[in-house]
Structure 1
Amino acid sequence: MKQFRQIAIPVTIVLIIMMMVLPLPTWLLSFLLIINISLSLTILLVSMFTTEPLQFSIFPSLLLITTLFRLALNVSTTRSILTRGDAGKVIEAFGQFVVGGNPVVGFIVFMILVVIQFVVITKGSERVAEVAARFTLDAMPGKQMSIDADLNAGMITEQEARERRRTIEREADFYGAMDGASKFVKGDAIAGIVILIINIIGGFIIGMVYFHLDVAQSAARFTLLSIGDGLVSQIPALMISTATGIIVTRAASEGNLSEDVTSQIFAYPKLLYIVAATIAVLGFFISPITTFPVAGVLAIGGYRMQQNQLKEQVINEQIEEEQEMEQIRSPENVMQLLSIDPIEFEFGYGLIPLADANQGGDLLDRVIMIRRQIALELGLMVPVIRIRDNIQLKPNQYIIKIRGNLVAEGEILLDHYLAMSSGVDDDSVTGIETTEPAFGLPALWINEEVREKAEIAGYTVVDAPSVVATHLTEVIKRHAHELLGRQEVRALVDHVKESQPALIEELVPNLLSIGEIQKVLANLLKEKVSIRNLVTIFETLADYASYTKDPFVLTEYVRQALARQITLQYAENGKLLKVITIGPDLEKKIAESIQHSEQGNYLALDPTTSQIIYRNVSEQINRIVKTGSQPIFLISPMIRMYFRQVVERLMPEVPVLSYNELEPHVEVQSIGVVNLQ
């Protein structure tokens, strides 16, 4: 059955083309003409019952096939009329019964049908399809941005977003195809007129020359057959063109054409009273017998519909109340409260314009760019960021939550700019003192009048939305390791598997589980090492996982494999690296304090030694920060991860590197030493 459906249309088109060449018997022509009428009526009814154009997406192709079928029938009937003087019972019936055997009446009826189809329906459908195609293409970027905004706001899932994008693409393709397909109907109407004239003139001549009929007999016989043939063709063509108009003029709705017409036209029963009164008044001037019954039916219909609407309103209110009560009692309602969003951004009512596109807010667009930036820099797919207002906050306050916990907050002034000094303050630049939320730098909120003066004085001036976007970006980077769960790692593994199936088959689950890989990737993200180069990371894990399962040890191996990446990240121009080194006595002390257990290795320092190390490390960090440089510690590979634990408690942003993580060509310059004294 499936194979038959696959070849049905190609075989049908081949048979249609053969009809134009091979002569057909009159009984077969009659049978095909009835099929043509039935097919056209089916298409018309289907177009009425569709709720949206894409439900009948094959219509442009079907329009071409039916037009070709109708033209093939015209060729066959023309051949039969001109060669035999007969075209079957169907055409004869249309010529005799439908037009009463009068050629003049038949010709007038035919021309009226052609005018209706060509001038009214086809012309209008063509214009609507052209405008719809143009507007659909113009609206595509806006619809795509709307989908991205809904996705970032958490209103839809990734799957729903993909389906909506696919729907937009299909709509654009459909209306573009309808714009061209409507030309088929236009050409078909012109062809019908030409074929009719050819049949009448050719039949008139053939009737006198070959059938030896006189002028009257030849004109009567062939004119009726030609007009009957034209009517048999134009009535299905009229139905197809009507279906075309219905399809391209359908707007967004929830029901078919019949439901929409009845529900929308009769949605206002009071208006029927006005129409009934108008018709009744006209009855006094025209004919009461004709108008009063119509007015009475309209008035009664309006009253009945008004009563039905009141009943439906009462029923709907009862259903809504029952649904609300059922939802409150439902255990699933409690389960929904247990869900926690990975990232939440909440703001006071004064910052609503920040996220409202109608008021010029572009926060949703900035969130899209932040997710792309994090993906490029860290190789992390940031989950959907839930954005909402919170009336419990101050008007200009916002907070950022990770896994339901508050991790950052700030206050901004939407009508001001944040000005940060480059080191030399200018007394003429005045404003509201504040602290830049992302990096904790002293800053000023200044208005538009002071902005130009601040820029000339060397201040870095940014607008309020950029302050929020920068803060959100830094928070995500700082907590990236918390956002990477097992489900996200599974998605990354599946992504690599598409191009490196052998690597993944060896690694997961034979050597490491998803949870163990997640710990290694989280360790890298915690120290701001990008995991975008997943192939190298997984290759290294596959090489060393057979020797150890310790995620911290595996992390060290991965960091060494990413030496080029880490070097470019911290070295100036990839050539010079200014570092703080560790004295031999301290390095020896840390190495001797490493304890081994079944749960792994850990650093066990006595409190006195710990305080000395914390004090010396803090002094070196503060000294380097005052010079405007970034403090970077360089230590031997064996104790790097243990010394990192010490530095992390003081300043988690300070990187700790090992010698094995640097490229050989890098010049290392020591600008400080941490000793044990």
Structure 2
Amino acid sequence: GYMAWKMWRASTLPPPPAIVEAAEPVDPSRIGWEEVTDNMQVMIDIGYGLVPLVDERRGGALMGRITGVRRQLSKELGFVVPQVRVRDDINMAPYAYRIVVGGVVIGEDSVSPDEMLALDTGQAVGSLPGKHAKDPTFGLDAMWISPADADAATGQGWLVVDPGTVMATHLNQALISNASDLLGPDEVQALLDGLRERAAQLVASLSPNPLPITTLTQVLRGLLAENIPLKEFRRIAAAIALAAQKSADADEIVELIRPELGPLIIQRLCGVREPLRVMTLEGQLEALLGQAIRSDPSKRHTIEPDLGRRIVDALQRAAQPLVAEAKPFALVVQPTIRIAIRKLVRTVLPDTPVMSFFEVPEDKSVEVVAVIGAPEALAA
């Protein structure tokens, strides 16, 4: 499946060349700026017991795995993912690690550096000698086993991976889930510089006028936050340039350009000849939500908690069989309530796009798999 492919992909990428830096003499009386702050956007802190995983002289392959993750993510997201710094922390448990982006911990777990993790992806049979565990990325049942038992475990249907691959896969998924935090003004400027070589007039019509780099960064981060990559940056930039003639507000620009980007969202859910599987809300419920949002002068796009809970419960019930069968779908709603619904479901269905009707091309066939809002669907 997808997870197995990701793990295999991360585990087969070659390690980067080793870089040896000469040590500089240290003045014990000097306290440098680098000692009180760290300008690296992405870091992995590790306990001392995991240091061998990053020591290439002792066969540690984690740095090579991380380089592979950065390379693949940069291709998928459409911009160069920042470098990842690995540092040991004596205050952590020996085999613990944590993934940090912008000073915020976005993932943490522990691995057994001298063992292999056997994952039950649904095909495993029989039991294995070892310690019970949970896969830190997808929450699958797993066992830490001796490397000597790896071949036998594979023969019984377990997916067996080394601890470096476990950490790299966790890093990959954590960065995908927090992709918007990886993009800053410097990365946006690099995107503009690259586009300028092919479409100078388009870039000139976009930034710094009418949009300063800070606003443009907000817009692009808004797209990444909803799993829309920036690979087709020329198309995205053209849509932003048009929208910027109507509004200078980043959130409004995101909503204005989404109909132009609808096909990019849909192609990740279904093939050209396949129908788009969608869930919708019942008409009266949409009207109720739309009225509540329009009457909120603060424009917070929030939904009354009890009603929100019932909508989420109904969506989860309807989504369960589709998720179990790995069938992607979208939740399609009226434009006026799209942001509110997205805020409502992003914690329970983070990978499900919430689209407005305007984002679905007229010539795209649609299969309605559920309508949320009937009294029985919103039972308390």
Length-normalised TM-score, structure 1: 0.49
**Offset at residue 408 of structure 1 (A):** 0.8
Tell me if structure 2 keeps the 8 A contact 1:417–1:446.
yes
Q: Give the equivalent residue in structure 2 for 1:291.
A: none
Tell me if structure 2 keeps the 8 A contact 1:400–1:472.
yes
Q: Which amino acid aligns with 1:444?
A: M
Question: Structure 1's 566 and 605: CA in aligned 2 closer, same or farther, altered over 3 A?
Answer: closer
Q: Give the equivalent residue in structure 2 for 1:324.
A: 28
Tell me if structure 2 keeps the 8 A contact 1:367–1:469.
yes
1:367 paired with 2:71, answer: no
Q: Give the equivalent residue in structure 2 for 1:398.
A: 97
Q: Give the equivalent residue in structure 2 for 1:463.
A: 162
1:650 paired with 2:354, answer: no
Name the SS for the 1:578 alignment partner.
strand
Instruction: Find the partner of 2:108 among 400, 409, 416.
Output: 409
Q: Give the equivalent residue in structure 2 for 1:603.
A: 301
Question: Structure 1's 461 and 629: CA in aligned 2 closer, same or farther, altered over 3 A?
Answer: farther
Q: Give the equivalent residue in structure 1 for 2:18.
A: 146
Residue by residue, what CA displacement relative to the aligned partner does 1:189-246 show, whole Å, maximum 9, x if unpaired? xxxxxxxxxxxxxxxxxxxxxxxxxxxxxxxxxxxxxxxxxxxxxxxxxxxxxxxxxx
Q: Give the equivalent residue in structure 2 for 1:453.
A: 152
Question: Structure 1's 492 and 453: CA in aligned 2 closer, same or farther, altered over 3 A?
Answer: same
Tell me if structure 2 keeps the 8 A contact 1:585–1:676.
no
Q: Give the equivalent residue in structure 2 for 1:523.
A: 222
Task: Specify the structure having the higher radius of gyration (Cα).
Answer: 1
Residue by residue, what CA displacement relative to the aligned partner does 1:382-405 show, whole Å, maximum 9, x if unpaired? 112111112222222111111122
Q: Give the equivalent residue in structure 2 for 1:427.
A: 126
Instruction: Find the partner of 1:568 among 267, 287, 296.
Output: 267
Q: Give the equivalent residue in structure 2 for 1:501.
A: 200
Name the SS for the 2:294 alignment partner.
strand
**Offset at residue 472 of structure 1 (A):** 0.6
Task: Tell me how far apart the structure 1 counterparts of residues 257 and 279 of structure 2 sit (CA, whole Å).
Answer: 23
Tell me if structure 2 keeps the 8 A contact 1:419–1:444.
yes
Q: Which amino acid aligns with 2:352?
A: V
Task: Tell me how far apart the structure 1 counterparts of residues 333 and 314 of structure 2 sit (CA, whole Å).
Answer: 15
Name the SS for the 1:409 alignment partner.
strand
Question: Structure 1's 365 and 606: CA in aligned 2 closer, same or farther, altered over 3 A?
Answer: closer
**Offset at residue 373 of structure 1 (A):** 0.8
Aligned runs of 1:276-295 on 2, under 5 Å? none
Question: Structure 1's 428 and 436: CA in aligned 2 closer, same or farther, altered over 3 A?
Answer: closer
Aligned runs of 1:324-363 on 2, under 5 Å? 324-325=28-29, 327-328=30-31, 333-334=32-33, 337-363=36-62
Question: Structure 1's 336 and 349: CA in aligned 2 closer, same or farther, altered over 3 A?
Answer: closer
Q: Give the equivalent residue in structure 2 for 1:378.
A: 77
Q: Which amino acid aligns with 1:558?
A: I
Which is bigger in relative contact order (C-alpha 8 A, separation at least 6)? Answer: 2
Equivalenced residues, count: 360
Name the SS for the 1:408 alignment partner.
strand
Task: Tell me how far apart the structure 1 counterparts of residues 200 and 35 of structure 2 sit (CA, whole Å).
Answer: 37
Name the SS for the 1:433 alignment partner.
strand
Name the SS for the 1:539 alignment partner.
helix
Task: Tell me how far apart the structure 1 counterparts of residues 90 and 176 of structure 2 sit (CA, whole Å).
Answer: 28
Q: Which amino acid aligns with 2:40?
A: D
Task: Tell me how far apart the structure 1 counterparts of residues 141 and 66 of structure 2 sit (CA, whole Å).
Answer: 26
1:673 paired with 2:365, answer: no
Bigger Cα displacement from structure 2, 433-442 vs 608-617: 608-617
Task: Tell me how far apart the structure 2 counterparts of residues 448 and 609 of structure 1 sit (CA, whole Å).
Answer: 51
Q: Which amino acid aligns with 1:609?
A: L
Task: Tell me how far apart the structure 2 counterparts of residues 143 and 654 of structure 1 sit (CA, whole Å).
Answer: 34
Tell me if structure 2 keeps the 8 A contact 1:568–1:574.
no
Task: Tell me how far apart the structure 2 counterparts of residues 444 and 484 of structure 1 sit (CA, whole Å).
Answer: 36
**Offset at residue 376 of structure 1 (A):** 0.8
Question: Structure 1's 433 and 567: CA in aligned 2 closer, same or farther, altered over 3 A?
Answer: same
Q: Give the equivalent residue in structure 2 for 1:479.
A: 178
Task: Tell me how far apart the structure 2 counterparts of residues 604 and 399 of structure 1 sit (CA, whole Å).
Answer: 33
Question: Structure 1's 569 and 473: CA in aligned 2 closer, same or farther, altered over 3 A?
Answer: same
Tell me if structure 1 keeps the 8 A contact 2:269–2:329.
no
Aligned runs of 1:194-233 on 2, under 5 Å? none
Aligned runs of 1:172-191 on 2, under 5 Å? none
Q: Give the equivalent residue in structure 1 for 2:138.
A: 439
Instruction: Give the alignment's Cα RMSD to 1 decimal.
Output: 2.8
Length-normalised TM-score, structure 2: 0.85
Tell me if structure 2 keeps the 8 A contact 1:580–1:633.
yes
Question: Structure 1's 628 and 446: CA in aligned 2 closer, same or farther, altered over 3 A?
Answer: farther
Q: Which amino acid aligns with 2:160?
A: V
Residue by residue, what CA displacement relative to the aligned partner does 1:338-384 show, whole Å, maximum 9, x if unpaired? 34421111112221121111011122222222111111101132112
Task: Tell me how far apart the structure 1 counterparts of residues 152 and 16 of structure 2 sit (CA, whole Å).
Answer: 40
Kindly indicate which of the two structures has a greater share of residues assigned to helix: 1
Tell me if structure 2 keeps the 8 A contact 1:596–1:602.
no
Q: Give the equivalent residue in structure 2 for 1:305.
A: none
**Offset at residue 630 of structure 1 (A):** 4.2
Question: Structure 1's 455 and 335: CA in aligned 2 closer, same or farther, altered over 3 A?
Answer: closer
Residue by residue, what CA displacement relative to the aligned partner does 1:528-572 show, whole Å, maximum 9, x if unpaired? 111121111111111121112232232133332223322221115
Q: Give the equivalent residue in structure 1 for 2:330.
A: 632
Residue by residue, what CA displacement relative to the aligned partner does 1:423-471 show, whole Å, maximum 9, x if unpaired? 3552333432111111222222222343233323332222221111111
**Offset at residue 672 of structure 1 (A):** 2.1
Question: Structure 1's 572 and 418: CA in aligned 2 closer, same or farther, altered over 3 A?
Answer: farther
Q: Give the equivalent residue in structure 1 for 2:279.
A: 580
Q: Which amino acid aligns with 2:126?
A: D
**Offset at residue 491 of structure 1 (A):** 2.3
Question: Structure 1's 632 and 458: CA in aligned 2 closer, same or farther, altered over 3 A?
Answer: farther
Q: Which amino acid aligns with 1:603?
A: H
Task: Tell me how far apart the structure 2 counterparts of residues 480 and 143 of structure 1 sit (CA, whole Å).
Answer: 24
Tell me if structure 1 keeps the 8 A contact 2:269–2:328.
no
Question: Structure 1's 324 and 445: CA in aligned 2 closer, same or farther, altered over 3 A?
Answer: closer
Residue by residue, what CA displacement relative to the aligned partner does 1:122-146 show, whole Å, maximum 9, x if unpaired? xxxxxxxxxxxxxxxxxxxx99823
Tell me if structure 1 keeps the 8 A contact 2:119–2:143.
yes
Task: Tell me how far apart the structure 1 counterparts of residues 333 and 67 of structure 2 sit (CA, whole Å).
Answer: 39
Task: Tell me how far apart the structure 2 counterparts of residues 596 and 379 of structure 1 sit (CA, whole Å).
Answer: 38
Task: Tell me how far apart the structure 1 counterparts of residues 152 and 366 of structure 2 sit (CA, whole Å).
Answer: 41
Question: Structure 1's 559 and 390: CA in aligned 2 closer, same or farther, altered over 3 A?
Answer: same
Q: Which amino acid aligns with 2:237?
A: F
Tell me if structure 1 keeps the 8 A contact 2:239–2:257.
yes
Q: Which amino acid aligns with 1:409?
A: E
Gaps (5+ residues) in structure 2? 1-13, 376-380
**Offset at residue 414 of structure 1 (A):** 2.5
The sequence identity of aligned pairs, in percent, is 29
Residue by residue, what CA displacement relative to the aligned partner does 1:154-212 show, whole Å, maximum 9, x if unpaired? x89xxxxxxxxxxxxxxxxxxxxxxxxxxxxxxxxxxxxxxxxxxxxxxxxxxxxxxxx
Task: Tell me how far apart the structure 1 counterparts of residues 318 and 60 of structure 2 sit (CA, whole Å).
Answer: 44
Kindly indicate which of the two structures has a greater share of residues assigned to strand: 2
Gaps (5+ residues) in structure 1? 1-141, 157-319
Q: Give the equivalent residue in structure 1 for 2:314.
A: 616
